[in-house]
Structure 1
């Protein structure tokens, strides 16, 4: 993990530049159009976890703590400073003053506690209906299992002073607060939009009225969400630097070639998720490409609730059937590294000696025979009409992996699911998926952000049950930064690799393409890309 220099931040480290106080009346006027790989799944960040939803909500809502663009360390945002006490079980935050929500209501300690209490008290029925909640993966449990939760309570000590109490030390707590899921919404807007009642729908996704119109303290105000596009406008009352851009249009193009053509035609100013096929065309046209440091892992998931996959030899055979080198060379951007574990190399806890079975199709066939595999059908789910930072061309990656698995004698049944038709929920919930394609994009600089959500408890995604690994992950979260914590995560990585609950394939490089109009774009490995930092030619 990238260490904190101290557990107290200072206002001078904040993301707002001094330009905010120098010219508070300067209203941004530029229009910026960004091509996305899919529609957002909802705009209440506490109830979704997809990249395109977060890309938008990062502009509208802010959390207590921001992220340093280069180090990944927590920096002041809505909190200007903080300190910890009670041996790491209490954090007190000094809040930025003279900040209001975009609906005019005050930002204060009571608003912070309203949000934390809302997340803690999410009912089970809501959690099952939502596409992705982060509270449990970070704090381990909600109020209906309060004795298991790391979150204890939130206290408004004064309008500008709030304390969060934990039941046990959690080393990655400040880093976790940088997640978009913990951005602070206006309590007034949450109530008005019945935020916990998912009685609305957009493209088949259940969501609340609030998720169609989020309200935060950020530099942009929600404008509209039409078919295929979301529009934001500059927040005239924003407390920080407003930047150059007065209007942002996020326009969805679910095919890579369509995004490329839109950039070449001047319809968009930038787009994310450049694919291998696009890369060469962009280079030939002299377009700017910005690559992010790898901070995601792409994997083949396996579901041990499917009886044949409970056999370790079958899972090992699947790993040995995969030619990762070919997959990376054909479908990922240059310098994408092969993965043998789920924690990327830049984080402490990465284990250079994590076991990898390697590509060995003959041994795979032998293991299947030893396991008594009789050609049982394996349903293989993969997404259509989407590009993810960790999965540039899902249909092509599926076709090659399926070919490799079939070559060793596995009976693969393709199950294509449109991304917007609930793919994420289908493969992360209990079901008949035997195999599936997915990945994990890191959101903060701590190894727990990778192994905790994936392997910290039994999930519907993997059906993986290893109490020893679960308890080691729980213990590692509370260890102070240092040798013991690093070694614990290295051990965890080794144990996960040995039991093969999924096959990590690559630590992908992701990239953006920019038009000539863009002078500077704040690329971030954790995708913390706020558009006030974009610089355009005059």
Structure 2
């Protein structure tokens, strides 16, 4: 794959060195070598997508790719968190919040030529509701179960009861989705990339292939692992996936219905797992941008003439504690000791970009429901040692899991953060056994299944409602936390089904205070992740949700 870039890395570096702005046409290299005039924008991704069908995914690297080709009923304003219309021009609900009506955009065409209708929307939602077998594993259907509950026929006692009732299409441009109970997940959930709308022709092809396996041995359906079958409505269509080389290729969709047409002919996502390698690829002119810039590199890249915008804070990094994995962790004093042992200010000062803050609770202060009255846990090694002694756990040993081959918006350098926290814990007498695991699928599945004593994880909000943070972890019992607290679960259910927003926000504040008293884990930090682009491109509007629209990209 030849990419559009300045004629040579040396010329680019020299121009920057004398303070010039690089404005050469991005198609120059393609013109010289192939005689064409196409423009290709290449972005360095931190990891491979799991699937080309976003319905089967729950990770940001997959959604970064699929978001360019698939669209949802609702969307977010560019650069913000306010809900706006997507494939639905407008929407409303009944007073009870159990019936959601979507008025669809006119003239929307899928990549395979099919038309968007209310019946097509219903076919997509009914497909997810009627999933069976391997599709009911949370590795594949995490978002469906989180937002809409279970399925038409649940096959496991651990699967939640379904909240989805059905979908009807009263006319060609209307879809009505009914749920059993109101939820704080609506309407925000209708903006999730996992609920992108697929072509009816594609849905028929999907049905011919099945996901197989269970536990850690899941095989995704073949259509989701190679280009050619999936079809959405976005400004780009997926044309190739070279999994061996970690490269997904998308082409401009000329019949795109929306106002924001793709500004380049071709978009390539190239997997470069190491942050240093991504930076070097940008500096060499091999790529035009990459995400999750190391804090130490922001000033360097900016000084070299690269564009390094910073997103607003909308995430949380935390130390998870799986209580059932070790009886000592069920002791409140032990969890408090862990919290007081951690020098979180050091993490913020040494590992995060400017604007990072120590977290006091399991949501950032940019989300309604943040409380100023939570119990806080200052760095106090002597108190931590005393609490361990009071609990009879002076010789505590813990397995500490951390991810490899990944960087996340809330966790720019997992191994470095792990080493600092490990040192803090050892300083108060806790023996730490390191458990490094590859992010996808080993780490996510091991932590979700309760396989670690303590572990590093985090969350970037999908939409701006406190339940999207708190409900992600504490709505009910889960293996990754391994505790039962019915008072907390009941309060979470009350907040989830409360239709009045002001009342719901008050409940979130109460929940934050309860959680930080109980201390199921330790919130560490919130971070404003940076993203970098070469000087010769007009970059997309950066999103606090990390939901950039690459159709906005063009070359200067």
Q: Is the TM-score greater than 0.5?
A: yes
The aligned runs of 1:246-265 (5 Å cut-off) are: 246-265=265-284
Equivalent position of 1:231 in the other structure: 249
Whether 1:344 aligns to 2:364 is yes
The normalised TM-score by structure 1 is: 0.90
Equivalent position of 1:109 in the other structure: 118
Equivalent position of 2:224 in the other structure: 211
Equivalent position of 1:127 in the other structure: 136
Runs (4+) of structure 1 exceeding 6 A deviation are: none
Equivalent position of 2:320 in the other structure: 301
Which of these residues, 40, 65, 75, is aligned with residue 31 of structure 1?
Answer: 40
Measure the CA separation in 1 of the matches of 2:399 and 2:257: 51
Which of these residues, 175, 183, 190, is aligned with residue 203 of structure 2?
Answer: 190
Whether 1:44 aligns to 2:63 is no
Whether 1:367 aligns to 2:387 is yes
Following superposition, the deviation at residue 504 of structure 1 comes to 0.6
Deviations 1:31-85 (A, max 9, x none): 1110111111222222211111000010111011111124422212111122222
CA contact (8 A) 2:462 2:545 kept: yes
Following superposition, the deviation at residue 520 of structure 1 comes to 3.5
Measure the CA separation in 2 of the matches of 1:423 and 1:168: 33
The aligned runs of 1:129-528 (5 Å cut-off) are: 130=139, 133-144=142-153, 148-194=161-207, 197-199=210-212, 206-212=219-225, 213=227, 214-226=230-242, 227-240=245-258, 241-306=260-325, 307-373=327-393, 375-431=395-451, 433-528=452-547
Specify whether residues 237 and 326 from structure 1 end up closer, same or farther in structure 2 by C-alpha distance, changes over 3 A only. Answer: same
Ranges in structure 1 where 5+ consecutive residues have no aligned partner: 1-27
| Aligned residues between the structures | 508
Following superposition, the deviation at residue 196 of structure 1 comes to 7.0
Measure the CA separation in 1 of the matches of 2:508 and 2:209: 36
CA contact (8 A) 1:131 1:424 kept: no
CA contact (8 A) 1:349 1:486 kept: yes
Measure the CA separation in 2 of the matches of 1:351 and 1:302: 22
Following superposition, the deviation at residue 399 of structure 1 comes to 0.7
Equivalent position SS for 2:456: strand
Specify whether residues 204 and 255 from structure 1 end up closer, same or farther in structure 2 by C-alpha distance, changes over 3 A only. Answer: farther
Deviations 1:340-369 (A, max 9, x none): 111211111000121112111111111111
Equivalent position of 2:94 in the other structure: 85
Measure the CA separation in 2 of the matches of 1:167 and 1:66: 24
* Greater displacement, 521-530 / 132-141: 132-141
Equivalent position SS for 1:224: strand
Following superposition, the deviation at residue 303 of structure 1 comes to 0.5
Following superposition, the deviation at residue 424 of structure 1 comes to 1.3
Specify whether residues 481 and 167 from structure 1 end up closer, same or farther in structure 2 by C-alpha distance, changes over 3 A only. Answer: same
CA contact (8 A) 2:108 2:116 kept: yes
Specify whether residues 354 and 332 from structure 1 end up closer, same or farther in structure 2 by C-alpha distance, changes over 3 A only. Answer: same
Equivalent position of 2:73 in the other structure: 64
Measure the CA separation in 2 of the matches of 1:199 and 1:231: 27
Specify whether residues 166 and 304 from structure 1 end up closer, same or farther in structure 2 by C-alpha distance, changes over 3 A only. Answer: same
CA contact (8 A) 2:145 2:160 kept: no
Measure the CA separation in 2 of the matches of 1:267 and 1:494: 48
Following superposition, the deviation at residue 95 of structure 1 comes to 1.4
Measure the CA separation in 2 of the matches of 1:460 and 1:185: 33
Following superposition, the deviation at residue 172 of structure 1 comes to 4.2
Measure the CA separation in 1 of the matches of 2:50 and 2:455: 20
CA contact (8 A) 1:46 1:133 kept: no
Measure the CA separation in 1 of the matches of 2:398 and 2:234: 46
Following superposition, the deviation at residue 271 of structure 1 comes to 0.6
Measure the CA separation in 1 of the matches of 2:388 and 2:135: 41
Specify whether residues 421 and 448 from structure 1 end up closer, same or farther in structure 2 by C-alpha distance, changes over 3 A only. Answer: closer
Following superposition, the deviation at residue 483 of structure 1 comes to 3.2
Measure the CA separation in 2 of the matches of 1:517 and 1:283: 14
Equivalent position SS for 2:309: strand
Measure the CA separation in 2 of the matches of 1:204 and 1:265: 39
Equivalent position SS for 1:87: coil
Measure the CA separation in 2 of the matches of 1:393 and 1:30: 33
Measure the CA separation in 1 of the matches of 2:136 and 2:400: 26
Measure the CA separation in 1 of the matches of 2:417 and 2:184: 37
